C-alpha cells in the first residue's frame, strides 16, 4: 500500500518509525505525524475516552460562567474578521454544547453537531440543538464554524475541510483548536517509548494524527483559506482557552508552558474568500 501524507499528499518525504508497538509516519514537508491505520468506532472519527466524556459532562454544569466569558471575547474577534454581524455558528464535535446558551443570549443562532450518542441524548435532555448529522447532510450555511479537539480524531483531514467549506458562508470564519504536538507536555512524551506509550499527541487509539502550526498552515493554504491567525496558547488562555476548571498546579504548568512558547493548545483561524 502506498502511503501519502494526509494533508499535503506528499509520498516522498515520509519518515517511518516504530514507537512501542505501532508505526508512525512523519511528513517532512508539512510536519504532520500520523498512524496510517485509524481505528474508527462511529462516524469518521477515532474514539474519545470515557474519562474525557465524564469530565465534559461535569464541565457543562460547572463552567457556564467560563463559557460565557469566552463567548463575549471571541465574538468581538470573530466579527472583526467577518466584517459583519455574526448570525449563526456551527460547533462541530460540540460535546455537551456549552456555548449554546451564551450565544443565544447574544441573539446568535448556535447549532452543534455530534456523532456521539451520549451527547445527542444529553442535548435532547437539556434542550440544546445538537444535530445528529453527518456534515455532508447539513444544508444550512454558517458565518462561523468551530471544531475544538476534533481534527486529531478525523481520518481524512482534507475531506473534512472540504465538507466544512461547503457549509461555510463566503467570508465566513473557521476556528480550529487542536492539541499542539510540540507543546511541553507532548515533548516529554516524545523522549522515549520506555517512558511513554504515547508519542506526544499520537495517542492510540484516540489520537492517530498529531498537528503543529506548520501542518495547519498547509491545511489552510491547500484549501484556499485566508489565514487570519495560527498560534499556540495555554489551555486556560483568557480568550482561546478551554471551557474547563483547572487546579492551581495545572494552571501553573499551562502558564509556564505557554510562557516558553510550548502551550498545549494550537489555534488556527482562517477566513473563506468572499467570492
Q: Which residues bind Zn ion (CB under 5 A)?
A: 5, 7-8, 10, 27, 29-30, 32
The residue among 212, 189, 202 whose CA lies nearest residue 32 is 212
C-alpha cell at 122: 444529553
The least CB distance from residue 9 to Zn ion, in Å, is 7
The least CB distance from residue 218 to Zn ion, in Å, is 7
Partners of residue 144 on adjacent β-strands: 89, 173
Grid cell 482562517 — which residue?
270
Instruction: Give the rounded distance of the alpha carbon of 231 from its chain centre.
Output: 13
The least CB distance from residue 173 to Zn ion, in Å, is 25
Closer CB to Zn ion, residue 7 or residue 267? 7
The least CB distance from residue 47 to Zn ion, in Å, is 25
* Cβ-proximal residues to 192 (8 Å cutoff; 6+ apart), any chain: none
Closer CB to Zn ion, residue 218 or residue 235? 218
Closer CB to Zn ion, residue 146 or residue 218? 218
State the Cα–Cα distance between residues 225 and 86, nearest whole angstrom: 19
Q: What are the start-end ranges of the E strands in 51-164?
A: 88-92, 109-113, 130-131, 142-148
Closer CB to Zn ion, residue 30 or residue 81? 30
The least CB distance from residue 145 to Zn ion, in Å, is 23
Closer CB to Zn ion, residue 32 or residue 86? 32
Amino acid at each position: 500500500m502506498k502511503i501519502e501524507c494526509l494533508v499535503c499528499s506528499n509520498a516522498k518525504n515520509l519518515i517511518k518509525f516504530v514507537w512501542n508497538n505501532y508505526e508512525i509516519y512523519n511528513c517532512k514537508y508539512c510536519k504532520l505525524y500520523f498512524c496510517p491505520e485509524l481505528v474508527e468506532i462511529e462516524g469518521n472519527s477515532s474514539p474519545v475516552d470515557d474519562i474525557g466524556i465524564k469530565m465534559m459532562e461535569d464541565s457543562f454544569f460547572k463552567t457556564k460562567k467560563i463559557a460565557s466569558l469566552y463567548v463575549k471575547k471571541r465574538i468581538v474577534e470573530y466579527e472583526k474578521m467577518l466584517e459583519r454581524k455574526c448570525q449563526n455558528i456551527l460547533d462541530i464535535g460540540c460535546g455537551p454544547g456549552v456555548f449554546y446558551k451564551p450565544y443565544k443570549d447574544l441573539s446568535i443562532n448556535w447549532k452543534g453537531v455530534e456523532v456521539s450518542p451520549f451527547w445527542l441524548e444529553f442535548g435532547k435532555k437539556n434542550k440544546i440543538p445538537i444535530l445528529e448529522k453527518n456534515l455532508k447532510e447539513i444544508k444550512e450555511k454558517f458565518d462561523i464554524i468551530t471544531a475544538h479537539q476534533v481534527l486529531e480524531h478525523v481520518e481524512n483531514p482534507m475531506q473534512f475541510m472540504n465538507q466544512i467549506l461547503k457549509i461555510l458562508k463566503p467570508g465566513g470564519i473557521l476556528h480550529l483548536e487542536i492539541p499542539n504536538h510540540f507543546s511541553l507536555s507532548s515533548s516529554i512524551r516524545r523522549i522515549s517509548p520506555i517512558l511513554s506509550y504515547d508519542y506526544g499527541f499520537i495517542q492510540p487509539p484516540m489520537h492517530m494524527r498529531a498537528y503543529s502550526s506548520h501542518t495547519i498552515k498547509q491545511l489552510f493554504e491547500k484549501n484556499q483559506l485566508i489565514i487570519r491567525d495560527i498560534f499556540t496558547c495555554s489551555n486556560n488562555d483568557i480568550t482561546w482557552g478551554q471551557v474547563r476548571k483547572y487546579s492551581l498546579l495545572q494552571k501553573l504548568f499551562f502558564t509556564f508552558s505557554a510562557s516558553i512558547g510550548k502551550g498545549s493548545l494550537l489555534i488556527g483561524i482562517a477566513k473563506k474568500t468572499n467570492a
